[in-house]
Amino acid sequence: MAGPLEGVRVIDLTSMLSGPVATMMLGDQGADVIKVEPPTGDLVRHMGRGGGDMLNPAFLSCNRSKRSLCLDLKTEKHKEILRKLIKTADVFVQNFRPGAIERMGFGYEDVREIRPDIVYLSISGFGETGPYANKRVYDPVIQALCGLADVQKDRDTGRPRMVRTVIPDKTTALTAAQTITAALFARERTGKGQHVKLSMLDTMIAYLWPEGMAGLVMVGKEDKGSAGAQLSQDLIYKTADGYITCGAVSDSEWQGLCNVLEKPGWLTDERFATAGARVRNAPERLSLTAEILGTRPSSYWLKRLDEEDVPSAPVLKRHEMLDHEQILTNGILQEFEHDGLGQVRQARPAARFAETPAEIRRPAPQLGQHNEEILAELG
């Protein structure tokens, strides 16, 4: 069935994660995404556990729903092919370091001459100016610079810590996909394309600001010690036989948790009597809660927490998630046959459109798999 972006053609010159994940989402939503790769291919093809013929799980999951066109843009012949392709495109996405795409002859002004109403997205690490503009960037560098590593710091030692998944890359991807659709909507109304610039650093500071940087909002009254208490705490508790998470934000949830823990006195304890007090005294509250939860098995606590309507869940290992009742009921994970790889599993697109469904439209392509097909379309 046609997706919401059916009829939109996206030229994808991105590599690694932030750009490819963004364009993958557009492909799932029905756009014709053409991934233009050099003869060596996207570096991610060569990373991780191999699946044969330069496909691996990471590449598979970042580049599904796309076609691959292999071009050597150091040659004029292949540049001319890309120019012909741009004439047919609605969106052009690139994540080279600032200045590189202009030297190749495909900066915004160059592309706009070919397709005046193009939506052109440039993704960078740090933006196009400033002392970091031309630095190489990977996800941990952004985690360090934006304050995320400080948010994650160890409460006892103060040592900053990285999140063990590429949050800046994937948050930039989500922002990029939303940005592209917003620019397409504006073009639909005005007839004009535009150049949109998006940096990972900008994205992550904006992402953290609503609560992670609460202590920096009031000018002249900055909390330089902790930048304010985060609304989200480390709520993983060891039970007698495993790990669970549970948390109480509202007064009614706190009352329920106190009932579960058999601590009615905490309801009037000035350290915990209000939501604000519970945030300010989080370390002590979490430590006391942990002592009690360690005395009984997970199944006991989860049953009691449900009875008192306190948000809770078991802490699953990654492979255990595959068989959890809620994941199975939602049909989040899909399996299909891949030529050369056998049975593979992917998470379906998260947004569920009633009239124009998003879906996994094709597996990630082999390098240059669609050259003949795309060149034939161009004549």
> Is residue 294 helix, strand or coil?
coil
Q: Which is the catalytic residue, given 12, 169, 269, 323?
A: 169
Q: What is the DSSP string of 92-133?
A: EEE-PPTTHHHHHT-SHHHHHHHSTT-EEEEEESS-SSSTTT
Q: Cα–Cα distance between 53 and 85 in angstroms, integer?
A: 27
Contact of 188 with 180, CB cutoff 8 Å: no
Alpha-carbon Rg for the chain, nearest whole angstrom, is: 25
Nearest in space to 115 (alpha carbons), one of 95, 91, 86, 146? 86
In angstroms, rounded to a whole number, what is the distance separating the alpha carbons of residues 150 and 169? 18
Establish whether 117 is a catalytic residue: no
- Asked whether the beta carbons of 59 and 17 are under 8 A apart, the reply is no
- Tell me the catalytic residues: 169
